[in-house]
Chain A
Amino acid sequence: MTALLKLDNATIRFDGLVAVNGVDLEIEKGEILALIGPNGAGKSTIFNLITGIYPPTEGGISFNGKSIAGLPPYVIAGGGIGRTFQNIRLFKELTVLENVLIGAHTRGRWDLTGALLKLLPQVRREEGRLLKLAIHCLTQVGLAHKAYEQACNLPYGEQRRLEIARALAIEPVLILLDEPAAGMNPQEKRTLLEMVRNIRAAGVTVFLVEHDMKFVMGLSDRIAVLDYGVKIAEGRPEEVRANPAVIEAYLGKGTMR
């Protein structure tokens, strides 16, 4: 099965510091792949590489067989890769609904002319379609009842869910979740787990970075482990958990398990 996303010896260097070092990674269509590793291992950098914020210094990256290295973020998003951010980046002043409507931006095409000719049936149809898509995404994360709230007024856990809804509005093929469970209590994490499973069931491939081991183990089909920018392990959760290199990376050398 050809991989949906493929990192080929991807390397990112910042002025002498190697953040990502020759990483080979493949994400299969329909799977839930998790990326774990100690702090500073380069996980967010890999996300930023995939979404086009940084170009690879060396190596390649391809999506559905076509290279996306060096493409700007908005093109990559338009190609079907959505993401959430480690430090939540919502449009704070706007409402919950507007946030997701903006997420649905690439699903429409009427710009200035459409704005001025609002009453044109094609334009109204498109607005209706975008609205329906937005509500659908909000329902998926359980926030439809708060559609008119200002995004900054939501409690933290709901803000994270809103970000996911916004990413879903792209109608993505692949979604990147950057520490989606951070700061959530156990109850919220259980809800999130179900949510991610439903997202996959709807046909979206999931690639996530997370620190909560229980969350990761219970959710992922496969896990990749990063340490100092190098991939040190990859495989099914049980395999990775027992891998001595992984244990050493997290606990340091010379510690008995």
Chain B
Amino acid sequence: MFLQQLINGIALGSTYALIALGYTMVYGIIALINFAHGEIFMVGAFVGLLMVGVFKLNIFLAMACAMIFCMVLGVVIEFIAYRPLRKSSRLSALISAIGVSIFLSSLALMVFGANAKGFPEQAFSSRQIHIGNADISTLQLLIIGVSAALMIGLEFIVQKTKIGKAMRATSEDYNTAALMGVNVNFVISFTFALGSALAAAGGVLVGMLFNAVSFNMGLMAGLKAFAAAVLGGIGSIPGAMLGGLLLGVTEVFGVAIGYSSYRDAIAFAILVLVLLVRPTGLLGRKVMTKV
């Protein structure tokens, strides 16, 4: 029983981690909570659904398409709604982000209607594998596997490439990086693109996991992923991964214990608790403001 819930939790948590990474990277680099990030997750799910349902692509190709589409979307959003506000107050940028979020979810509602859509049968035939006294489905294995692969890929990009170094520099100190010749605009766009790609992958995976894709899945998933990012320490990439997994496991266990109707509130309770008790999260750093 415990093992089963643990497996379920890790699978769910991996998807949260994928979305949380986007939040944490963007926050680390321009100190903005990209409220629209959850909607990108939702768009990714729909694109994946379209690719499989209409164009009959296999799931991996569909995911790739979703990721590419959302990379572009993320960059466009940054350009239109956040870049002009870089010098403005944080409040303005946050309100703008909310505007984008509402716009995207309403658009999805208009285009796809209010009912949740499921993936067609042949998308990915899932089998159950027996481990001990628990079952793990091949779908869950896929989710965990893809998430892990993407996260390892991300770590590689951030730690071992030139653009990754530029990302780290810009997130440490925006102005100095610019003075040192880093093309800050490009780095920021790239960060958005990366985060959006991960969220899109998460969207397709979640869509398959729950077999439901709907216009309002973005808000809830986004908020939960944000809670995960904060739990792990906002701005910290390993933190987002850890936070996502922890949140997934906690949610699954919470439901198993009997709090299923409070399922969504669990993430918020964690969020509020973390912010009050240890705002830097588990792996985050404390930053002193210069007066």
Residue numbers of A with Cβ under 8 A of B are 14, 44, 48, 53, 85
Contact = CB atoms under 8 A, between A and B. Distances in A.
A196 B288 CA distance: 32
B291 interface: yes
Q: Looking at chain B's contact residues, is the secondary structure mostly helix, strand, loop, or mixed?
A: loop
B291 A48 contact: yes
A14 B291 CA distance: 14
B288 A44 contact: no
Contacts of B291: 44, 48, 53, 85
Q: Which 5 A-B pairs have the closest CB atoms?
A: A53-B291, A48-B291, A14-B288, A85-B291, A44-B291
A139 B247 CA distance: 59
B92 to A, nearest CB: 14
Nearest to A89: B291
Contacts, number: 5
A48 B291 CA distance: 8
A44 B291 CA distance: 8
Contacts of B288: 14
Contacts of A14: 288
B20 to A, nearest CB: 27
Interface in B265-291: 288, 291
Interface in B201-229: none
5 contacts: A14-B288, A44-B291, A48-B291, A53-B291, A85-B291
A44 B289 CA distance: 13
Nearest to A51: B291
Contacts of A48: 291
A48 B288 CA distance: 13
Nearest to B288: A14
B203 to A, nearest CB: 40
B285 to A, nearest CB: 10
Nearest to B285: A15
Nearest to A45: B291
Nearest to A14: B288
Nearest to B290: A44
Interface string B32-76: 000000000000000000000000000000000000000000000
Nearest to A85: B291
A122 B22 CA distance: 56
A53 B288 CA distance: 11
Nearest to A48: B291
A85 B288 CA distance: 17
A53 B291 CA distance: 8
Contacts of A44: 291
A130 to B, nearest CB: 27
A101 to B, nearest CB: 23
B89 to A, nearest CB: 11
B128 to A, nearest CB: 51
A85 B289 CA distance: 14
B287 to A, nearest CB: 11
A42 to B, nearest CB: 13
A4 B291 CA distance: 24
A44 B290 CA distance: 10
Contacts of A53: 291
Contacts of A85: 291
B3 to A, nearest CB: 42
